[in-house]
Structure 1
């Protein structure tokens, strides 16, 4: 039968072309569903922070803070931040983080300060194995600009990335996250940054995979029909 021959050929050759990617889809899907997303995000390593409230009455006025910082006062109200940091003010369009207590800008964050901020934000018994200032944020952070990376000696190889201006943990990464990210990139067929899952390659591959499923159903239907005819003929000859 022409339909049977055509379906068989399509099913065989298209399966050879996209079979490896189908394996990546199924294997990656298994990995991504087996690992809890909270573990991937490192939420179990995030400590609950309880900032000490500031006595607003004892703080300098906004105008005085702007004067001490040498910047023009912003029209918008300034936000209170953890670690007694207050901002933003603007100088030539750039934010300036200042101390809410003194109204003066903070100096560059030291290794000891970055380590201290990271330790307070970390939940667990592992110590800090390394603290590094990075002039350019790594791709895995999804951030731009400089960051501090503080690594912990736990089994997941957790890394906290901190803002050098505020000491805030902007993102958490670990070996678990990197394994998840590897399989995610295989899953969406975007090996650059894993952000694009609507590109032509995955659309074409998905369409080809659909043709495998359709041709497989056709083959199954033809074979079942043929087997049923053979069974009926066999019963009729016995009678």
Structure 2
């Protein structure tokens, strides 16, 4: 009876180890990469210029001036948020608002920060000069390039520029506001993403981040979008991993000479 139990436990442990071995290797490699890399460098902070702030004596028009200008051409039902941002050194109001129809339906609309087609999701966004209150248009290609260069360390040599209205679930700019400009630099080697409607720097991607992102996908076993820790595959492998460890402990005890001697002594 003991011999048969030993045999089946060993066989279970061997096949579970074979099935899970590759994934355990991915988890180990990923964990090593995550722990040996500075997360700030992965985020590309070393490729960005330091954050700048507005002077305290800045003269600004009231946001109400910009709202009145906006209401001349648009029905503004409610305000979601008004933020002061910088666009190429100029103080700018970023007005996030709902029209009447959008106010009714906003609870059914997925936020644009999670990959929606509009930068503001169910709401709309309007930019305005904060010093005069005058409305301004979304970022042009030239402005987006200048804004990217404005934020990236020198020499900031542009290689190519792409306008994006949609991205896939595996794209490095996934779950970010669209439309956006993607500005790829030859030096430093990276790609900067600028939101067209929000007028802001959204993300910077480089090779260190891309390796991290790939290993993160293998780590979470979410091969659709990377970040779903509740996916069925990960749960299944977690349970199988626990069974593998427990079968290893059982195999040790049933095959241990000390355990066998004690068992025979009790007979």
Give TM class, smaller chain: 0.7 to 0.9
Contact 2:30–2:215 (CA under 8 A) maintained in structure 1:
yes
Structure 1 position 47 matched with structure 2 position 49: yes
**Matched residue count:** 227
Deviation at 1:209, TM superposition (A): 1.7
Quote the residue 2:68 is aligned against: 67
Kept after mapping to 2: 8 A contact 1:137/1:144? no
Q: Could you tell me how far 1:77 is from its partner in structure 2?
A: 8.2
SS at match of 1:185: helix
Q: Please, which runs of 5 or more residues in structure 1 have no aligned partner? A: 230-239
1:81 maps to 2:85: yes
Task: Determine whether 1:110 maps to 2:117.
Answer: no
| Contact 2:26–2:218 under 8 Å retained in 1 | yes
Partner residue of 1:19?
Answer: 21
Query: In 2, are the aligned partners of 1:64 and 1:103 still within 8 Å (CA)?
Result: yes
1:84-163 aligned at under 5 Å gives the runs: 84-88=91-95, 90=97, 92=99, 94-137=124-167, 139-141=171-173, 142-154=175-187, 157-163=189-195
User: As a proportion of its length, which structure holds more strand?
Assistant: 2
Structure 2, unpaired ranges of 5+:
100-122, 262-267
The CA deviation at 1:207 is 1.5
Conserved? CA contact 1:72–1:90, under 8 Å: no
Contact 1:66/1:89, CA 8 A, preserved across alignment: no
Q: TM-score of the superposition, structure 1-length normalised?
A: 0.81
User: Which digits, 9 at most, give the CA deviation of each residue in 1:18-53, with x for residues without a partner?
Assistant: 222122111222222222211211111121132343
Match in the other structure for 2:218: 186
The structure with more radius of gyration: 1
TM-score, structure 2 as length reference = 0.74
Cα offset, 1:54, TM superposition: 7.3
Q: Distance in 1 between matches of 2:196 and 2:179?
A: 7
Is the 8 Å Cα contact of residues 80 and 97 (structure 2) preserved in structure 1?
no
Q: Whose helix proportion is higher, 1 or 2? A: 1
Instruction: Rate the CA distance shift 1:187–1:121 in 2: closer, same or farther, 3 A.
Output: same
Distance in 1, Cα, partners of 2:23 & 2:225: 18
